[in-house]
Amino acid sequence: MSELHAAETSHQRRMDHMYRYQRHVYDLTRKYYLFGRDTLIGELNAGPGISVLEVGCGTGRNLALIGKHFPRARLFGLDISAEMLASAGAKLSRRGRSPAMLRVANATDFDPRLFGETGFDRIVISYSLSMIPDWQGAIDAAIAALNPGGSLHIADFGQQERLPASFRRLLRGWLTRFHVTPRVTLFEVLTERARRNGAQLERRAIGRGYAWLAVYHRPAATAASATNPTVARVHGPVAAVIPA
């Protein structure tokens, strides 16, 4: 077994162990400190037929809200924890909820064909990158799974850069107990990927840096890119970054 595979297996077991019982109270407790999720969802603009995948969908709370906001969107979700997906399946099967296709999968190497799709129009990663060991790999996998013209929407803990140092230390200590590590270089990594791929990037901080939001826009397919992908990469739009 490779070191990477061993790490992924260990992560899966840790998540299942941690959420076996926590999943029953997860939504009630997390609403007090996972800020920015509803803002992200409201900005998805997922019209009729638009495919929306949530990576690390957990209990299905976000997918349920996406379905409420955009009832004609097609919903998909993956999570490494089968325990969490059990809760998601129960939540999303209730009467009046938009259905969603759920799969147990690793955020770093999933294939859209697992869902019978070639790609997705919107991909959401909400407060999951801070828990995924290979979080940059998860970003790369999501970007690779975007349809042309699609967008990747991310919400996660920021660096609390404009909050008191005492609050920052207290929050970090508490998050560590749950295997959560805010990603210091999140914006830098996304900016590099956008420049490399000729994509556009929006980013902003909310709550004085408590949380960070980012949207990565994959360019739409053009005749030039179809005939000469190299030219398309070189002459694509420069990443548009909104300072936090």
Which CATH number is 220's domain given? 3.40.50.150
In a domain, 121, yes or no: yes
Mean pLDDT of 65-83: 96
pLDDT, one tens digit per residue, over 211-234 is 999 999 999 975 444 444 433 333
Instruction: Note down the domain range covering 220.
Output: 3-235
Closest CA to 54 of 85, 82, 29, 86: 85
Residue 14 CB neighbours (<10 A): 15
The reply to whether 244 falls in a domain is no
How large is the average pLDDT for residues 177-198? 96
In a domain, 44, yes or no: yes
Strand partners, 155: 126, 213
Does residue 242 belong to any structural domain of this protein? no
Q: How many separate domains does the chain show?
A: 1
Q: Could you read off the pLDDT of 24-35 as tens digits, one per residue? A: 444 444 554 688
Contact 75, 100 (CB under 8 A): yes
Q: Kindly state whether residue 241 falls inside one of the protein's structural domains.
A: no
> In the prediction, which pLDDT does 221 show?
79
Q: What is the predicted pLDDT for the residue at 29?
A: 46
